[in-house]
């Protein structure tokens, strides 16, 4: 007589049950990886902007640049305000009054392959824009950069927004959660 080798139906059911339990436990963690990536993208952009603003301030101090003066950065020339923080592209007013100035700050202060920014909400299918820039209203000098990809879902939080305060040079990221 030949002895048959193989799995019994009980062993097969046990293996399938274990795989199901493992998938049920691991799947929520893997789904959350996308949200972690969006949070990391915003934190990275905010960190890059903060570093660029600090470098611009340092260069403005070294060059003794005053209100409305231009300084040359790797991304291009930027105008600085009275305390030495970027306020727009070369020749811009010392106060931030338009979204275009916020775009110019983003594009000239950040180096290399920076995320794309626009001054108006693009169509939902437009993947070429990562952030939408707006100037702060009510005499507050600064800009907000809203992460476009957070409009659909980001764990129930509000939009992911980077805020730049031109009076203090402070850059913050809001709506970003640590898991």
pLDDT in tens, 78-106: 899 989 999 888 776 778 888 899 999 99
Of 77, 43, 50, the closest CA to residue 143 belongs to: 50
**Residues 96-123: what's their mean pLDDT?**
86
Q: Where in the sequence is the domain holding 154, given as residue range(s)? A: 10-174
Residue 82 lies in a domain: yes
Residue 156 lies in a domain: yes
Q: Given pLDDT bands bounded at 50, 70 and 90, which one contains residue 1?
A: low
**Count of structural domains within the chain:** 1
Residue 103 lies in a domain: yes
Q: What is the pLDDT of residues 133-161, one digit of tens each?
A: 988 876 678 899 999 875 554 444 458 89
Question: Residue 154's beta-bridge partner residues?
Answer: none
Residue 179 lies in a domain: no
Residue 32 lies in a domain: yes
**Dihedral sign computed on CA atoms, order 12, 15, 18, 24:** negative
Residue 98 lies in a domain: yes
Q: Given pLDDT bands bounded at 50, 70 and 90, which one contains residue 168?
A: very high
Q: What is the pLDDT of residues 9-43, one digit of tens each?
A: 898 999 999 999 988 888 877 777 778 888 889 99
Residue 1 lies in a domain: no
Segment holding 89, helix H or strand E: strand 86-89
What per-residue confidence (pLDDT) applies to 157?
46
**Dihedral sign computed on CA atoms, order 88, 91, 92, 95:** positive
What per-residue confidence (pLDDT) applies to 151?
55
Q: What is the pTM of this model?
A: 0.77
Contact 88, 108 (CB under 8 A): no
What per-residue confidence (pLDDT) applies to 145?
93
Residue 5 lies in a domain: no
């Amino acid at each position: 007589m030949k002895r048959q080798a193989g799995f019994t139906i009980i062993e097969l059911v046990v293996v399938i049950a274990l795989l199901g339990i493992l998938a049920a436990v691991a799947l929520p963690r893997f789904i959350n990886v996308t949200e972690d990536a969006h949070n990391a993208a915003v934190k990275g952009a905010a960190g890059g902007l903060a570093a660029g603003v600090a470098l611009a301030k340092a260069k403005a101090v070294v060059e003794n640049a005053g209100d409305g003066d231009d300084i040359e950065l790797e991304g291009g020339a930027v105008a600085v305000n009275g305390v030495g923080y970027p306020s727009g592209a070369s020749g811009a007013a010392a106060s931030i009054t338009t979204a275009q100035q916020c775009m110019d700050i983003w594009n000239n202060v950040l180096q290399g392959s920076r995320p794309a920014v626009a001054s108006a909400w693009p169509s939902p299918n437009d993947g070429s824009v990562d952030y939408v820039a707006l100037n702060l209203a009510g005499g507050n000098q600064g800009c907000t950069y809203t992460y476009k990809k957070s409009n659909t879902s980001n764990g129930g939080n509000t939009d992911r927004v980077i805020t730049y305060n031109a009076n203090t040079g402070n850059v913050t990221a809001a709506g970003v959660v640590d898991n």
